[in-house]
Structures are given as structure tokens and as C-alpha cells.
């Protein structure tokens, strides 16, 4: 399996956002470290998820940027994406691994060491761990686990840990010091006045 990028851009498909414009801006400056995770609103149709994934794949291909699909693993398979990401409300990790096959990248959400270890045992190739900070991007999250919570997970597993939830470039040194391999962001890029510049700052902090 090729090495995982350290900057995971999660698509922002909320009203008023333009995930493909953000991706076009970010690709030239971040492609060496970039992974794109296609995440659509729960209300989106599979067809919408499929079309967005195809567009992301087309934009990322010249740069060799891998694309993962959140939740909807059939969309990952149908589009030839590199893999997927699952959490507590999605297919169990072992089932997701069965669906995607042994070569795919499979991320799983974990918030504490026990579930992290279980996810890795079941076949996760990386973990998304958070929320590290408070975030308005997603409703219904538990309280932030902070840097200490992230470190506890890092110490329990041997796969890359991707910190998520309210992460900005300013947080990266502390998260990396705690053992995070990389970060996953929505707002830090999608909400930036200049996404290319924000991506460059994130990559500089991560590498
Ligand atoms: C890298 C990364 N980490 C965590 C998540 C969250 O996944 P999940 O808990 O399944 O929640 P939804 O994103 O599906 O709402 C993620 N997507 N990516
Ligand atoms: C989709 C998602 N999952 C999270 C988790 O902790 O499981 S936090 C999150 C949203 C991340 O967006 P932002 O970078 O804008 O905070
Ligand atoms: Mg999910």
C-alpha cells in the first residue's frame, strides 16, 4: 500500500460551499501530501456522491492524489477510489474490509484506545481520531478529546493516526508532537479566504 498523505481534505458539500473549487486551489500546493475524502451530506443521493467522487478522481489523477469515500463504500468501489472511511454508524470495520478488499485504504473513526485497537484488529489501515477541538462543521459530536486524548490513541496503535475536528495549521505542531501522523480538515480549507495559502500553511506545518 502506498504511503498515506498527511493532509486529508474532506469535501464540504454544505450549501454555499464549492468543494471542487477548493480542491482545484489546493491540489497544486498540497498534492504531495494530499488525500481527498469525499463526504456528502446524509441527505445526498448516491448518484450525487458518485458524480462528486468521479469529479474528485478526475481532478486528482494528474497529481496522483488518492481519493477515499466516506460511508458509502459501494460508491468507492463503483468509481475505483482508493478506499473508504467508516465510523460507528457505518459498516463495521471488518465488513468494510471485506467489501473493499485487502489492498484498499480503509480508515476508521476512533475516539479512545479500546475502539482504536479493535478497529485496527478488524482491518483499519489508518484511524481518524477526534474531535480534537470544538467544531461547528458537524453536529452531535462528543466533547473534544484534546491533545491528551489523541496521544492516548496514538500510544495504543501502530497505524497512522489522523487528527480531526477543529484542526487548523496552528494546532499541527502540538498534534504532531503527540504522535499524529496527519490531519483531516473541512473548515480550515473550505472556509479559508485563500484555500491555496491555507493548504500551503498546513503542509508546511505537517512536513
Ligand atoms: C479522517 C476522518 N476521521 C473521522 C471521520 C468521521 O467519520 P464518522 O464518525 O463515520 O462520521 P461521518 O463523517 O460519517 O459523519 C471522518 N469522516 N474522517
Ligand atoms: C466530519 C467530522 N468528523 C469528526 C469526528 O470527530 O469524528 S469532526 C468532523 C468535522 C471536521 O471538520 P472541521 O475540520 O471543519 O472541524
Ligand atoms: Mg461515517
170-191 pLDDT per residue, tens: 999 999 999 999 999 999 999 9
Whole-prediction pTM value?
Answer: 0.98
Residue 59 confidence (pLDDT) above 60? yes
> Where would I find the H helices in 61-181?
73-79, 93-100, 113-121, 146-156, 172-177
All structural domains of the chain with their residue ranges: 7-108+164-173+181-206
Q: What pLDDT score was predicted for residue 65? A: 98
Q: What pLDDT score was predicted for residue 1? A: 53
Q: What's the mean pLDDT in 145-162?
A: 98
Euclidean distance between the first and the last CA atom of the chain, given in angstroms as a whole number: 20
Percent of the chain with pLDDT over 70: 99
Nearest ligand to the CA atom of 128: 1
Q: What pLDDT score was predicted for residue 111? A: 98
Q: What's the mean pLDDT in 69-85?
A: 98
Measured in whole angstroms, the distance separating CA 191 from the mean position of its chain's CA atoms is: 16
pLDDT tier at 73 (50, 70, 90 boundaries)? Answer: very high
Nearest to 199 by CA among 14, 68, 27: 27
CA of 41 relative to ligand 3 center, distance in Å: 10
pLDDT tier at 159 (50, 70, 90 boundaries)? Answer: very high
Ligand 1, pocket-test mutation among 8, 37, 70, 141, most atoms within 8 A of CB: 70
**What value does the mean pLDDT of the chain take?**
97
Nearest ligand to the CA atom of 183: 1
Measured from CB, residues less than 6 Å from any atom of ligand 2 are 109, 130-131, 135, 137-138, 141, 164-167, 185-188
Q: Which CATH architecture has domain 7-108+164-173+181-206?
A: Alpha-Beta Barrel (3.20)
Q: What pLDDT score was predicted for residue 38? A: 98
User: What is the sign of the dihedral through the CA atoms of 87, 92, 98 and 103?
Assistant: positive
Amino acid at each position: 500500500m502506498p504511503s498515506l498523505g498527511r493532509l486529508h481534505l474532506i469535501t464540504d458539500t454544505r450549501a454555499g460551499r464549492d468543494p471542487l473549487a477548493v480542491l482545484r486551489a489546493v491540489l497544486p500546493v498540497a498534492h504531495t501530501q494530499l488525500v481527498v475524502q469525499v463526504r456528502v451530506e446524509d441527505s445526498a443521493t448516491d448518484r450525487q456522491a458518485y458524480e462528486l467522487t468521479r469529479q474528485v478522481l478526475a481532478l486528482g489523477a494528474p497529481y496522483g492524489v488518492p481519493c477515499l469515500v466516506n460511508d458509502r463504500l459501494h460508491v468507492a468501489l463503483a468509481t475505483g477510489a482508493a478506499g473508504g472511511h467508516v465510523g460507528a454508524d457505518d459498516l463495521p470495520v471488518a465488513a468494510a474490509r471485506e467489501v473493499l478488499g485487502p489492498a484498499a485504504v480503509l480508515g476508521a473513526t476512533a475516539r479512545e484506545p479500546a475502539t482504536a485497537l479493535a478497529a485496527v484488529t478488524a482491518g483499519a489501515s489508518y484511524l481518524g481520531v477526534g474531535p480534537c477541538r470544538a467544531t461547528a462543521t458537524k453536529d452531535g459530536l462528543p466533547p473534544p478529546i484534546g491533545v491528551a486524548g489523541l496521544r492516548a490513541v496514538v500510544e495504543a496503535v501502530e497505524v497512522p493516526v489522523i487528527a480531526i475536528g477543529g484542526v487548523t495549521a496552528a494546532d499541527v505542531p502540538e498534534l504532531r508532537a503527540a504522535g499524529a501522523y496527519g490531519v483531516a480538515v473541512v473548515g480550515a480549507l473550505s472556509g479559508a479566504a485563500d484555500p491555496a495559502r491555507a493548504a500551503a500553511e498546513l503542509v508546511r506545518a505537517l512536513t
